[in-house]
C-alpha cells in the first residue's frame, strides 16, 4: 500500500486490461442508464453520434474505478475529493480497456499533518490506443505517520 511519502509528481501507474462484454453493457444500462443507444443495437445504429451500441459513460467510469483500485493502491483507499470526467469516444462491446494514471500534483495538508491531496490525470484506452475517458482527480492520501500512531 502506498502512503503520501511514497508518491512523487510524474509517477505513473498502468492497469491490466478489462473487456467490456455486451451482456454487462446491457445489464448496467438497464439498471442505471436506460437509453436506447445503450440498450438497443438497431436504434443505436440510427443515433447521430454513437452510430452503434455504446456503453454508458458511467459504466466506463465504474470499470475505470475498478482498474484504478487495482493499479494505484493507496492506504485506506481512493478517497475522492474532486473529479472532472470527459468521454471523447464511446466504449463499445468487446473493447479491451486499460487505464494509465499520472500524478500531477501533491499538496500536503496545511491543517492536518496526517494527510495530503494528490492530483492525477487518468486516461482509459481501448485496444486500438483510442482514448475512451479522460479525468483529472484529487484524492485524499494519508501519511505513514498515521499508521504509526494507530499501531
Give me the mean pLDDT over the 47-63 stretch: 96
At residue 147 the predicted structure's pLDDT band, cuts being 50, 70 and 90, is low
Looking at 5-14, 54-63, 74-83, 92-101, which range is the least confident one? 74-83
pLDDT for 151 beyond 80: no
Please give the pLDDT value at position 145.
76
Fold of domain 4-150: Thiol Ester Dehydrase; Chain A (3.10.129)
Residues 13, 10: Cα–Cα separation, whole Å: 10
**Grid coordinates in use for 80?**
475522492
Contact between residue 83 and residue 135 where contact means Cβ atoms under 8 Å apart? yes
pTM here is 0.90
At residue 148 the predicted structure's pLDDT band, cuts being 50, 70 and 90, is low
Amino acid at each position: 500500500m502506498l502512503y503520501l511519502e511514497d508518491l512523487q509528481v510524474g509517477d505513473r501507474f498502468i492497469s491490466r486490461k478489462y473487456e467490456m462484454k455486451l451482456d454487462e453493457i446491457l445489464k448496467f444500462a438497464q439498471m442505471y442508464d436506460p437509453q436506447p443507444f445503450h440498450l438497443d443495437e438497431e436504434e443505436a445504429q440510427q443515433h447521430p453520434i454513437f452510430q452503434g451500441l455504446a456503453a454508458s459513460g458511467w459504466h466506463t467510469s465504474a470499470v475505470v474505478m475498478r482498474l484504478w483500485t487495482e493499479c494505484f493502491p493507496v492506504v485506506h483507499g481512493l478517497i475522492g475529493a474532486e473529479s472532472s470526467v470527459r468521454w471523447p469516444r464511446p466504449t463499445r462491446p468487446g473493447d479491451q480497456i486499460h487505464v494509465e494514471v499520472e500524478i500531477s500534483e501533491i499538496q500536503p495538508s496545511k491543517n492536518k499533518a496526517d494527510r495530503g491531496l494528490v492530483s492525477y490525470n487518468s486516461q482509459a484506452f481501448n485496444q486500438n490506443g483510442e482514448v475512451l475517458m479522460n479525468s483529472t482527480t484529487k484524492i485524499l492520501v494519508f501519511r505513514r505517520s498515521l499508521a504509526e500512531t494507530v499501531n
